[in-house]
Amino acid sequence: MGEQESNNSESGGGGGVEDMVEGPAKENGRAADPRLQAISDAIRVVPHFPKPGIMFNDITPLLLRPSVFKDAVDMFVERYRGMGIAAVAGIEARGFIFGPAIALAIGAKFIPLRKPKKLPGEVISETYILEYGTDCLEMHVGATEPGERVVVVDDLVATGGTLSAAIKLLERAGADVVECACLIGLPKYKNFYKLNGIPVYILMESRK
């Protein structure tokens, strides 16, 4: 089993606030999408989890409300349907909750980007720095073909390190990463995203 590794601890290079796509709350100056309030209300902010000082955005209450969960998925489906997206790449673990539903609805395949030593086949790897530690993502060799249009899905972007690692994995395999999509963006980091020029679309900023 081969493994190719690359380290993005110096951040992805390029990027910055211009990579941020305004979410539906502000898009084109229109009124906020009426579904957003219930989505926002269903996200619980837990102080000091998993470490002191971290305000943890917990999406599990949203999953307990099927109509609100569906609205969140639908908002991404409405954005990406008809855009020639061949694959949705979901980031373990919480990108696995939203990504497959979006992929099925737009007729795309789903690519799991997993934490180390979970995928049984040949993988490529990227290490990255988190708000509260370091981690690594892996993807099966052959999961995507050169030139395929891919959207990366996760629940939340904080520093952008995880999305940056995902973009690098996909681009190393020749994919055309169109956009990253998250429910939540942490505003304290939004000027610092390093995502190699790939836009990040968020439904909302964290309330705290």
Ligand X SMILES: Nc1ncnc2[nH]cnc12
Active site residue 114: no
Contact criterion met (CB below 8 Å) for 113 and 92: yes
Q: Taking CB under 6 A as the rule, does residue 156 contact ligand X? A: yes
Pick from 128, 134, 137: nearest CA to 160? 128
Contact criterion met (CB below 8 Å) for 37 and 62: no
Nearer to ligand X, 43 or 102 (CB): 43
Contact criterion met (CB below 8 Å) for 154 and 182: yes
Pick the catalytic residue from 94, 114, 138, 179: 94
Active site residue 131: yes
Q: Taking CB under 6 A as the rule, does residue 203 contact ligand PRP? A: no
Q: Taking CB under 6 A as the rule, does residue 57 contact ligand X? A: yes
Supply the DSSP symbol for 151. E
Q: Taking CB under 6 A as the rule, does residue 63 contact ligand X? A: no
Q: Taking CB under 6 A as the rule, does residue 45 contact ligand PRP? A: no
Distance CA 91, CA 130 (A): 14
What residues make contact with ligand X under the rule CB under 6 A?
54-57, 131, 156, 158, 186
User: Which residues of the chain form contacts with ligand PRP (CB under 6 A)?
Assistant: 91-94, 130-131, 135, 154-162
